[in-house]
């Protein structure tokens, strides 16, 4: 008999015991087949098992010149229907959505899963919406009622969510929230949906609020892991270099 395994389970509680048991039983085991592709598919699980925190995806929709809202605060809609449908898929795959209270006040989003049905789906089983977490307080009549509000340290929030076995969380903005997670070095993947539009000007809202890099040597560098055309828009996925090592 021969068993082929893509990667060893990174869970410390497993620690290769299954592989050892197979080999002790005289079964040939080959480890590392298509390992890179499997690590890509299991990135959220690997992050959770190795750090105790969920895999953090930061999602932004922006114009070609990097703006996420007009000077008057309007931001719906920058991207088209196909890109927005892809976001609903991403929501469905996530255990929680994190947004800032400012986004709730400005856009009043529903933060639910719509326009998406899994490939394997039981019509009698609904697609569950992710847990909604707002950084700060929101009005009682907001369109999206958060499951909980958080006012503490962002790293502590991720530790708490990881302890609840939340494997992947989605950061949906806005600029203050994106900037806070980015500066704290808590983002594993950046999913940027870019529309073929230009806003121009100095007073439109940029994707990341707060202090940025002071010099070129301070740039945050990553690697593009995918570039996907979605209707008229493009989805760029950049992985933080430390998260990919």
For the stretch 182-226, pLDDT in tens is 999 999 999 999 999 999 988 888 989 899 889 998 888 899 999
Same-domain status, 22 and 64: no
The reply to whether 56 and 36 lie within a common domain is no
What average pLDDT score do residues 74-81 get? 89
Query: 142 and 100, same structural domain?
Result: yes
35-52 residue pLDDT tens: 999 999 999 999 999 999
Within 10 A of 215 (CB to CB), how many other CB atoms are there?
A: 6
Question: Does 144 fall in a domain?
Answer: yes
Residue 121: inside a domain: yes
Kindly state whether residues 150 and 57 are assigned to the same domain.
yes
Q: Identify whether 168 is part of a domain.
A: yes
Q: Compute the distance between CA of residue 108 and CA of residue 63 in angstroms, rounded to an integer.
A: 21
Same domain, 1 and 75: no
Verify that 29 and 118 share a domain, yes or no: no
Q: In this structure, what CATH number is given to the domain that contains residue 240?
A: 3.40.430.10
Residue 15 above 80 pLDDT? Answer: no
Q: Are residues 23 and 66 in the same domain?
A: no
Q: What is the pTM assigned to this prediction?
A: 0.84
In total, how many domains does the chain have?
A: 2
Assigned domain for 63 exists: yes
**Host domain of residue 209:** 52-244
**Does residue 46 sit within a domain?**
no
Does one domain contain both 186 and 239? yes
Q: Is residue 182 part of a domain?
A: yes
Tokens of 170: 């989605």
20 and 119 housed in the same domain: no
User: Does some domain include residue 47?
Assistant: no
Summarised one tens digit per residue, pLDDT across range 54-77 is 999 999 999 999 999 999 888 888
Residues 188 and 230 in one domain: yes
- Secondary structure of residue 206 in the 3-state scheme: strand
Q: Are residues 27 and 85 in the same domain?
A: no
Are 27 and 88 within one domain?
A: no
Spatial distance between the Cα atoms of 236 and 241, rounded to a whole number of angstroms: 15
């Amino acid at each position: 008999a021969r068993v082929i395994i893509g990667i060893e389970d990174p869970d410390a509680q497993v620690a290769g015991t299954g592989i050892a048991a197979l080999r002790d039983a005289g079964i040939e085991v080959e480890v590392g087949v298509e390992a890179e592709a499997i690590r890509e598919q299991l990135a959220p699980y690997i992050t959770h098992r190795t750090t105790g925190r969920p895999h953090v995806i930061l999602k932004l929709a922006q114009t070609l010149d990097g703006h996420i809202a007009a000077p008057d605060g309007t931001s719906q809609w920058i991207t088209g229907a196909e890109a927005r449908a892809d976001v609903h898929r991403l929501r469905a795959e996530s255990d929680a959505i994190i947004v800032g209270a400012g986004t709730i006040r400005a856009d009043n989003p529903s933060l639910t899963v719509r326009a998406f049905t899994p490939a394997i789906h039981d019509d009698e089983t609904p697609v569950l919406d992710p847990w909604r977490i707002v950084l700060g307080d929101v009005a009682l009549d907001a369109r999206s009622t958060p499951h909980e509000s958080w006012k503490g340290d962002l790293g502590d929030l991720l530790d708490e969510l990881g302890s609840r076995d939340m494997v992947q969380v989605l950061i949906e903005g806005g600029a203050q929230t994106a900037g806070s997670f980015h500066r704290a070095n808590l983002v594993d993947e950046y999913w940027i949906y870019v529309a073929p539009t230009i806003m121009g000007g100095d007073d439109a809202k940029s994707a990341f609020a707060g202090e940025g890099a002071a010099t070129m040597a301070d740039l945050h560098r990553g690697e593009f892991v995918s570039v996907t055309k979605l209707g008229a828009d493009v989805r760029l996925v950049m992985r933080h270099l430390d998260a990919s090592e």
